[in-house]
Amino acid sequence: MSQLLIVGTVAFDAIETPFGKSDKILGGAATFIGLAASQFDINSAIVSIVGGDFPKEYLSLLERRNIDTTGIEIVEDGKTFFWHGRYHNDMNSRDTLVTELNVLADFNPIVPASHKNSEIVVLGNLHPQVQISVLEQMETKPKMAILDTMNFWMDNTPEDLNRVIGMVNAITINDAEARQLTGEYSLLVAARKIQQMGPEYVVIKKGEHGALLFHEDEIFYAPALPLEEVFDPTGAGDTFAGGFAGYLACTRDIEFNNIKNAVIYGSALASFSVEKFGTQRMLDLKPQELRERLEQFKQLTQFEIELT
Polymer length of the chain: 308
User: What does DSSP assign to residue 183?
Assistant: T
Residue nearer to a copy of itself on the CB measure, 163 or 193: 193
Residue pair 45/58 in contact by the 8 Å Cβ criterion? no
Q: How far is the CB of 247 from a copy of itself (least distance, A)?
A: 10
Q: How far is the CB of 265 from a copy of itself (least distance, A)?
A: 8
Residue nearer to a copy of itself on the CB measure, 101 or 294: 294
CA angle, 243 then 122 then 227, to 5°: 30
Residue nearer to a copy of itself on the CB measure, 98 or 307: 307
Residue nearer to a copy of itself on the CB measure, 239 or 271: 271
Q: How far is the CB of 281 from a copy of itself (least distance, A)?
A: 18
The footprint of a copy of itself (CB under 8 A) covers 89-90, 185-189, 191, 206, 209-210, 212, 218-221, 223, 226-229, 257, 260-261, 264-265, 291, 294-295, 298-305, 307-308
Q: How many helices (H) and strands (E) does the chain have?
A: 11, 15
Residue nearer to a copy of itself on the CB measure, 102 or 182: 182
Q: How far is the CB of 264 from a copy of itself (least distance, A)?
A: 6
Q: How far is the CB of 20 from a copy of itself (least distance, A)?
A: 17
Of 196, 148, 187, nearest to 170 by C-alpha is 148
Q: Is 186 exposed, middle or buried (0-12, 13-18, 19+ CB in 10 A)?
A: exposed
Q: How far is the CB of 300 from a copy of itself (least distance, A)?
A: 5
Distance (Å, whole) CA 177 – CA 193:
13
Residue nearer to a copy of itself on the CB measure, 8 or 243: 243
- Strand-pair partners of 28: none
Residues 6+ apart with CB under 8 A from 30: 6, 7, 8, 9, 10, 46, 47, 48, 124, 238
